Amino acid sequence: MTARTFRNKRYFGMVIADEALKPGKPLEKCKHVQAMHQRFVDGLDWNQTEYSKLYEKKYRKMERHGGEDGSFNVFTKKKLKKYDAIYEDIKLGGYKQSASIEENIEVALDANGEVLLIDGRHRLVLAQLIGLKKNSCCR
């Protein structure tokens, strides 16, 4: 079980007590978001963005990113190049809902109708950086 799945199935359409929802930090304070801005607005190479620090602090140890013997270049090829492709895809064709529901922007509504971002911050931020005013999401 993870924060969003149970027995490898994604939670959708659940009603939970409002106290169970804890707001996260604002997107602009997220290092991933800052790195996306640095890459796609400032035009920096990935190794000049916050991702270089995140890699050393968090991702370097993960086996799927090369493990201890990996490098930032391996990490860039395995993870960050996907964001380049998603950015270009959104820029050229607009935001389209993914065929895989797990890869979409996912939101929830609190008791006051406030929209809360559950998942998909990378796609949301890429769409915002491109200047899209609307995008599809799962709720």
Express the helix, strand and coil content of the chain in percent, nearest 5 each.
50, 10, 40
Question: Residue holding tokens 């899209």?
Answer: 132
Domain residue ranges of the chain, discontinuous segments joined by +: 26-138
Question: Residue holding tokens 């007590």?
Answer: 17
Which residue type, as a one-letter code, is found at position 9?
A: K
Cα 88 from chain centroid (whole Å) = 16
Who's near 101: CB < 8 A, 6+ residues apart?
10, 12, 138
Reading the chain (139 residues) residue by residue, the pLDDT tens digits are 345 665 666 666 666 666 666 777 788 888 999 999 999 999 999 999 999 999 988 887 776 666 666 788 888 988 899 999 999 998 998 877 777 766 777 777 777 887 777 777 888 888 889 988 776 655 4
Query: What is the pTM (predicted TM-score) of this model?
Result: 0.74
